Amino acid sequence: MSASRRGSSRVGALAAAALALLAQDASAAPPPKITRIPVTVQPYYAAAPSPERRPVVEVGRTFNHALASTERNEIAGVRDLIAANPGAVTPMTMMVLAIRLYDVGLRDDAVFWFYAAKARYITLEDTVDVNVPALKTASEAVKNFARLGGPYFNGYAFCDPPGQHATMIRALDWVEKNPYETIFMKELTGKAGDRKANIAESIKRQRKSADDERAKFGDKKFAAGFAKARKKNKADAMFCWKS
């Protein structure tokens, strides 16, 4: 089972990820606002050392130059281009798009594309063998993007738990409407069953996971504990500021 779908005995999987970045001493100085996501996942992405510098992007010639831009409009243009023709866009490209949207202050869009990238990848993993040479490197990269970037995206998303759930559901709706074309390549070894049916089952499981996560916040004790942990770790100060 992928890490994105494993539960937690104390908090939900996404909620736990939202707090993972924040394990710092509450007595420390006020934390800085998190305005950028400083992650590197070779060979596809390396964050720039400062906002004025271009990151290294290697997800494909169609998108590399624009995703490495420091201009909000250019990065938003990639978002619109992918939204208009999403079928063959890799989860890695969507992960980098999410990071770059966050870096230029489009944080709500960033969270959507991060969740959509994860969900698209999970449908791939649930439907074909991702351990073949053609997919293995990319598969590991997506998992590393999720592991390293997740605490940042979720740190912001869980400023508003109902909104976080709504964005997750919207991302799943998008993935269901726009299945990843690579899944249907005959060269890839499919798992048992019909591929379309397996995609539908994957999305169904992901919806249940999202709903189970959201249901935890209906428990007052859980919700209070989550809010207390965010306060202790200064999550709101780091993530919940207005652009």
pLDDT of residue 176: 98
Tens of pLDDT, residues 177-206 = 999 999 999 999 999 999 999 999 999 999
**What is the pTM for the complete model shown?**
0.89
Does the residue 154 lie in any domain?
A: yes
Does the residue 72 lie in any domain?
A: yes
- Dump the DSSP string for the chain: --GGG---SSS-HHHHHHHHTT---TTSPPPPP--S---EETTTEE--SSTTSPPEE-S-TTTHHHHT-S-HHHHHHHHHHHHHS-TT--HHHHHHHHHHHHHTT-HHHHHHHHHHHHHHHHHHHTTB-TTSHHHHHHHHHHHHHHHHHHHHHHHHHTTSHHHHHHHHHHHHHHHHHS--GGGG-TTS-BPSS-HHHHHHHHHHHHHHHHHHHHHHTTSHHHHHHHHHHHHHTTHHHHH----
Q: How many domains does the chain have?
A: 1
Average per-residue pLDDT for the chain: 91
Tens of pLDDT, residues 148-174 = 999 999 999 999 999 999 999 999 999
Does the residue 20 lie in any domain?
A: no
Could you tell me if 99 and 79 are in contact, meaning their C-beta atoms sit under 8 angstroms apart?
no
Domain that holds residue 121: 36-230
Does the residue 15 lie in any domain?
A: no
pLDDT tops 70 at residue 15: no
Does the residue 159 lie in any domain?
A: yes
Does the residue 115 lie in any domain?
A: yes
Strand-pair category, 45-46 with 56-57: antiparallel
